[in-house]
């Protein structure tokens, strides 16, 4: 069994937040029903981009098109509320996932804790797959119900078989991913980062790195990479364990990166 974090693709259209602060859209979505006091609320396109099936709402709640709704609605009736939105060009809906499971494997997960020992978050999340029913399509888990949505292979297959675009299924949790395989993956990851560092050319400061990025180059330091896309927008990437880059458009640069030494590398496709 495989589980995927529900992530929108970098090429999905971006929706702006609404101004109506009193609307339920601006409340926490932690698994509680919202349909009883929901009214359609307007959202606006911030960037059109390529894919429209799964627009990325700037606050992070899942949004789908009418086309997606028609496909998934018969399968997720008991797991989500499909809440209508208003948009100038598209029929869009926000998903409120109400299927919240107690399914963390606390023995294998790496836990972040406060100094008093209380839970903060996860450095590494591992699911207890025996607590995820086989007929599940979409769910949240109790400890982070207000933040993340997860989907199963059944959901992924449904999306791909209907040629729906706009999701990134690269972040995967696999029931067959044993501790032995996990250690092997970590070894290859560390070896790949080491190889990049051993084969780097002339190094320069962060300030110089930004200048080169603005001139069209890509620069890297360890697991980090900076470059512009084909529209001139700035992206920061981090190599994850499967040796692919996880890209983000940062609101700010993590201060630790300012002291790193950088070098030029080949550009990635974003």
CA-CA distance, 264 to 220, in Å (whole number)?
6
**pLDDT for 137:** 98
> Residue 21's CB: how many other CB atoms inside 10 A?
9
CA-CA distance, 87 to 228, in Å (whole number)?
29
**pLDDT for 92:** 97
**pLDDT for 259:** 94
**pLDDT for 186:** 78
**pLDDT for 178:** 60
Question: The whole model's pTM is what?
Answer: 0.69
Residue 13's Cβ-side half-sphere holds a number of Cα atoms within 13 Å equal to 20
CA distances to 38, 169, 243, 250, 251 from 246, rounded to whole Å, are 34, 12, 9, 12, 15
Please give the helix or strand (H or E) that residue 76 lies within, else none. Answer: helix 66-76
**pLDDT for 21:** 78
Q: How confident is the prediction along the chain (270 residues), in pLDDT tens digits per residue? A: 999 999 999 899 999 877 777 889 988 899 999 999 999 999 999 988 899 999 999 888 999 999 999 999 999 999 999 999 999 999 999 999 999 999 999 988 888 888 787 788 888 889 999 999 999 999 999 998 888 999 999 999 999 999 999 999 988 898 876 666 667 777 888 888 888 778 788 999 999 999 999 999 999 999 999 999 988 999 999 988 778 888 888 888 889 999 999 999 999 988
- Render the burial of 26-61: b for 16+ CB within 10 Å, e for the rest: eeebebeeeeeebeebebebeeebebbbbbbbeeeb
Q: Where are the domains of the chain?
A: 2-102+126-174, 183-265
- Tell me the helices (H) and strands (E) count for the chain, helix number first: 4, 21
**pLDDT for 9:** 92
Rg of the chain over CA atoms, in angstroms?
20
What tokens does 82 get? 């499909």
Q: In sequence order, what are the beta bridge partners of 104? A: 127
């Amino acid at each position: 069994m495989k589980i995927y974090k529900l992530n929108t693709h970098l090429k999905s259209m971006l929706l702006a937040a609404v101004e109506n602060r009193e609307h339920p859209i601006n409340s926490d979505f932690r698994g509680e029903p919202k349909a009883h006091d929901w009214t359609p609320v307007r959202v606006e396109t911030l960037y059109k981009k390529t894919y429209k099936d799964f627009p990325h709402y700037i606050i992070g709640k899942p949004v789908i098109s009418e086309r997606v709704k028609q496909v998934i609605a018969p399968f997720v009736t008991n797991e989500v509320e499909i809440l209508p939105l208003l948009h100038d060009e598209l029929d869009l809906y926000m998903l409120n996932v109400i299927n919240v499971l107690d399914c963390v494997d606390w023995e294998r997960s790496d836990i972040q804790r406060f100094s008093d020992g209380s839970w903060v978050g996860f450095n590494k999340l591992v699911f207890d797959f025996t607590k995820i029913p086989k007929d599940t399509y979409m769910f949240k888990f109790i400890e982070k119900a207000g933040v993340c949505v997860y989907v199963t292979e059944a959901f992924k297959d449904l999306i791909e078989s209907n040629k729906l675009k706009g999701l990134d299924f690269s972040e995967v949790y696999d029931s067959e991913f044993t501790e032995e395989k996990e250690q092997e993956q970590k070894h290859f990851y560390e070896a790949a980062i080491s190889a990049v560092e051993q084969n780097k050319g002339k190094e320069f400061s962060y300030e110089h790195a930004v200048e080169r990025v603005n001139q069209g180059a890509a620069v890297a330091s360890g697991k980090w990479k900076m470059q512009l896309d084909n529209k001139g927008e700035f992206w920061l990437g981090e190599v994850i364990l499967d040796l692919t880059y996880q890209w983000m458009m940062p609101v700010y640069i993590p201060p630790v990166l300012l002291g790193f030494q950088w070098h030029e590398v080949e550009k990635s496709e974003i």
